[in-house]
């Protein structure tokens, strides 16, 4: 491995420092200076952790040293998990923005849903309307528009005959991923 940049040289020197600290810890431990051994081991791990924040390549000096390798790998795992969470959050935000733009534009088919007028006609015809795992239906005998969530829990969507405004509100909630009623989590 040939290092040609200044940052790479600094990382190499710090990896050497970490290994030297780890070796000093072993010497102190053999000599019976356990407190000092602990301090050197902590310094070595601290350097390994800081290097993990700077590079995703395990320094060769850490490969055959369990403490340094573990400190570096554990830190890289945390970094990778944080990065994955940040990417997931960004993807969710982008998806929500896309959903909102489709709602504003009235582009219900892009959201996998009928238009509000079609949904209202479906309910008034006594048929079930499905959206986001929820099933809504209007029971004209009791005058209630029911909704069953994905977990089989019944609820009332609205009293009386459904209105276009109420259907729009329901479709917006479903497009946004909202769940009605109790959920198991």
182 located within any domain? no
Give yes or no: residues 65 and 134 share one domain. no
What pLDDT shows up at residue 3? 60
Give yes or no: residues 115 and 68 share one domain. no
Three-class DSSP category at 128: coil
**pLDDT 10s digits, 129-141:** 999 999 999 998 9
Structural domains of the chain, count: 2
What pLDDT shows up at residue 108? 93
What pLDDT shows up at residue 185? 73
98 located within any domain? no
Residue 98, pLDDT above cutoff 90: yes
161 located within any domain? yes
Q: Using CA atoms in the order 180, 114, 101, 103, what is the torsion angle rounded to 10 degrees?
A: -60
Contacts of 32 (CB under 8 A, 6+ apart): none
94 located within any domain? no
Q: How confident is the model at residue 183 (pLDDT cuts 50, 70, 90)?
A: confident
Residue 184, pLDDT above cutoff 80: no
Q: Using CA atoms in the order 122, 123, 128, 134, what is the torsion angle rounded to 10 degrees?
A: 110
Q: Which residue has the higher pLDDT, 64 or 185?
A: 64
**pLDDT 10s digits, 34-63:** 999 999 999 999 999 999 999 999 999 999
C-alpha–C-alpha distance, residues 120 and 162, integer Å: 7
Q: How confident is the model at residue 4 (pLDDT cuts 50, 70, 90)?
A: low
Report the predicted TM-score, pTM, of the whole model to 2 decimal places: 0.64
Contacts of 88 (CB under 8 A, 6+ apart): none
Tally of CA atoms within 13 A in the half-sphere of 86 that contains its CB: 6
Three-class DSSP category at 145: strand
C-alpha–C-alpha distance, residues 106 and 162, integer Å: 19
Residue 2, pLDDT above cutoff 70: no
What pLDDT shows up at residue 181? 85
Whether the CB-CB separation of 149 and 133 falls below 8 Å is answered with yes
> Mean pLDDT score of the chain, rounded to an integer?
93
Helix orientation angle between 164-175 and 116-124, rounded to the nearest 10 degrees: 120
**Mean local confidence (pLDDT), 13-17:** 94
Domain that holds residue 139: 108-175
95 located within any domain? no
Per-residue tokens: 78: 């945390």
Q: How confident is the model at residue 20 (pLDDT cuts 50, 70, 90)?
A: very high
Tally of CA atoms within 13 A in the half-sphere of 153 that contains its CB: 8
């Amino acid at each position: 491995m040939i290092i040609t940049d200044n940052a790479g040289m600094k990382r190499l020197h710090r990896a050497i420092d970490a290994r030297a600290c780890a070796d000093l810890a072993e010497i102190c431990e053999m000599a019976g200076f356990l407190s000092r051994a602990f301090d050197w081991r902590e310094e070595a791990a601290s350097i390994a952790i800081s290097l993990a924040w700077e590079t995703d390549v395990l320094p060769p000096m850490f490969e055959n040293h369990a403490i340094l390798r573990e400190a570096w790998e554990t830190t890289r795992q945390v970094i990778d998990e944080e990065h994955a969470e940040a990417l997931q959050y960004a993807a969710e935000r982008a998806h929500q923005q896309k959903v909102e733009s489709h709602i504003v534009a009235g582009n219900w088919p892009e959201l996998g849903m009928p238009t509000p007028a079609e949904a209202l006609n479906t309910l008034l015809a006594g048929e079930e309307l499905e959206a986001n795992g929820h099933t809504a239906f209007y029971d004209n005998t009791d005058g209630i528009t029911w909704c069953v969530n994905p977990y089989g829990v019944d609820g009332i969507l609205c009293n009386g005959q459904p209105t276009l405004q109420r259907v729009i509100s329901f479709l917006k909630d479903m497009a946004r991923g909202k769940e009605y009623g109790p959920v198991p989590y």
